[in-house]
Amino acid sequence: MGVFDGQWLLLQGACVNQFFIADMHFGSASNAKWRGFSSSDAMDKAIIAAWRERVSPQDVVWVLGDVGNLEPLSDLPGEKRLIYGNADRPKGAFVVSGAFQSLEDEHILDTDEGPIFLVHKPTDAPLDRTPVLHGHTHSKPPEPDPRFVSVSVDKTGWGPITLAEVRARLAERASQAASAR
């Protein structure tokens, strides 16, 4: 397959970025409404545009749950890996869709700077010092624990964010926690 160093993968000589996103809820009129969109189509178009602007076909996108309608994924660039969310049911539909390279309930991503735990619900994360990327909380305030970072589209400008952006958010959270002491 390739050599992974956390920031990118080396596959047959090509650098591949890692991206993270959650809570798209494609096709959901109720999510579109409380997010301030005029329709689910308008919301979907905003997410799709942000995704296309950031992700190249060779990149890897970790989707941390609550996809919604699977149809838009087929035309989006990148190799998609799903961490199931509470709304991603039935799981069999995701397997049959062929939209994802991998499907898991959680994943430990090894990076240059140590592991990062990927999960949908922050309450399902381990109680250790491992940084946690999650979805589920949408636009709610951040988790009190500074090692948690939400990659919900509500907090990422509607599109996936890179590992470098994740690291910057983790550093900012740690700095805020340290200055609050």
- pLDDT tens digits along 10-35: 544 456 899 999 999 999 999 999 99
pLDDT category of residue 6 using cuts at 50, 70 and 90: very low
Express each pLDDT in 40-91 by its tens digit. Answer: 999 999 999 999 999 999 999 999 999 999 999 999 999 999 999 999 999 9
Q: Which residue has the tokens 């799903």?
A: 82
Type of residue at 37:
F
pLDDT value at position 14? Answer: 54
CB-based burial of residue 124 (10 Å sphere; 0-12 exposed, 13-18 middle, 19+ buried)? middle
Question: Both tokens of residue 134?
Answer: 């999650």
8 Å CB contact between 106 and 85: no
Question: Does 107 score more than 70 pLDDT?
Answer: yes
Lowest mean pLDDT across 3-7, 62-66, 124-128: 3-7
**Rounded Cα distance, 115 and 10, in Å:** 19
At 170 the pLDDT is 94
Choosing among 3.60.21.10, 1.10.10.10, 3.30.360.10, 3.40.50.40, the CATH entry for 3-180 is: 3.60.21.10
What does the pLDDT average to over 143-164? 95
The model's pTM: 0.90
pLDDT at 177: 84
Distance of alpha carbon 58 from alpha carbon 176, whole angstroms: 35
Please determine, for residue 104, whether its predicted confidence score (pLDDT) is greater than 70: yes
Sign of dihedral through CA atoms 160, 93, 115, 154? positive
CA gap 35, 11 in Å, rounded? 38
Q: Is the dihedral of CA 116, 150, 70, 160 positive or negative?
A: negative
Show me where the domains of the chain are located: 3-180
Of 73, 69, 32, nearest in space to 55 by CA: 73
Q: Say whether pLDDT at 164 is over 80.
A: yes
Task: Give all strands (DSSP E) within the chain, no chain letters.
Answer: 3-4, 8-11, 14-21, 60-63, 79-83, 102-104, 106-109, 116-119, 132-134, 148-150, 161-162
When pLDDT is averaged across residues 99-110 and rounded to a whole number, the result is 96
